[in-house]
Amino acid sequence: MNLVLLEEAEMSMGCDVVLSGRRYEHVKTVHRAKVGDSVRVGVVEGCMGEAVVTGIDDREVRLRVDGLTEPAPAPLLLVACVALPRPPTLNKVLQQLTAMGVKRFHFFHSKRVEKSFWQSHALGDDEVRRQLRLGLEQGRDTRTPQVQWHRGFRAFVEEAVPSLLETVAAGYFAHVGATRSCPSTSEETMVVVGPEGGFIPYEVNRLEEAGLRSLSLGPRPLRVETACVSLAARLGLS
C-alpha cells in the first residue's frame, strides 16, 4: 500500500481520521508507523499529501490530515478492452492496469470465454471496487477507473468498438498471428486483448472490419495479464 486512500465522508468529519481494519493493519505492521510519523494519503477522486500519525493502539490508527494539495498523476493514455478472463486473472488485470494508470476498462464476451465466468462474484460492484482500490493504492493514484461489461461479442464489436475509436487516435487488437509489431505512441490508444486461446478467425475478421489493426507481441502465446501489462507498457507509457 503506497497510498492510504480515504473517503470524502471521512474527511468531512474534520482533519482527524481514524483507520481500522486493513488500513490499520498495513500502517501498523508494514509501515511500522509511530506517533509523529508521516504517511502518504489521498482522498478518493481528490488530492494527495501527507498525514501525521497522532495516535495508535491495538485497534486503530489516528491521523491528522492537513491541506492535501497534490493532484492525482496523469492517466495512462490507453483504453483496455479485454475478453473476460477467469476470475483470478480478472483481478490481476484490474489491479495491475489500474496501478499503471488505465482509466477505461471494457470486458467483453468471445467464443473462447467460458460462459460461467459471467456468473462469478468477481464481477460484482463491491469486488471490482476492491480490486481497483488495491491498484490505486499501489500506483499512488486517487482517480477510480470506469469499468464496462459487454456480454455479447457482436454488440461489443458493432457498437462499443466504433464508439471507442471515435475517442482515441488509434485502435489495435493483439493477435498471435499478426505481423505488425507493437508500435510506440504518445497518443491515446485502445487495445483489444483476446482470451487465453486467442480469437477465432470470425472474430479476427470482425475486429478488422470494425477498424482495428492487428499487432503482435512476438511468437509466444502470453497469459492475459502478461499481455495486458506488456501492451500498456508499450502503448501507454511511451
Q: Return per-residue pLDDT of the chain as tens, 238 residues.
A: 899 999 988 876 667 899 999 999 999 898 899 999 999 999 999 999 999 999 999 899 999 998 899 999 999 999 999 999 999 999 999 999 999 999 999 999 999 999 999 999 999 999 999 999 999 999 999 999 999 999 999 999 999 999 999 999 999 999 887 777 777 777 889 999 999 889 999 999 999 999 999 998 888 888 999 999 999 988 876 5
- Superfamily holding 4-65: Hypothetical PUA domain-like; domain 1 (2.40.240.20)
Return the domain boundaries, the chain. Answer: 4-65, 78-236
Buried b (16+ CB within 10 A) or exposed e, 79-104: bbbbbbbbeebbbbbbbbbbbbbbbb
What is the per-residue pLDDT for 210? 96
What is the per-residue pLDDT for 147? 98
List, in sequence order, the alpha helices (H) in the chain.
Answer: 8-11, 21-25, 87-100, 125-139, 153-155, 161-165, 201-209, 224-231
What is the per-residue pLDDT for 237? 67
What is the per-residue pLDDT for 203? 97
Domain 78-236: CATH class, spelled out: alpha beta
What is the per-residue pLDDT for 211? 96
C-alpha 168: how far from its chain's center?
18
Buried b (16+ CB within 10 A) or exposed e, 227-237: bbbbbbebbbe
| pTM summary value | 0.92
Cβ pair 5, 143 in contact under 8 A: no
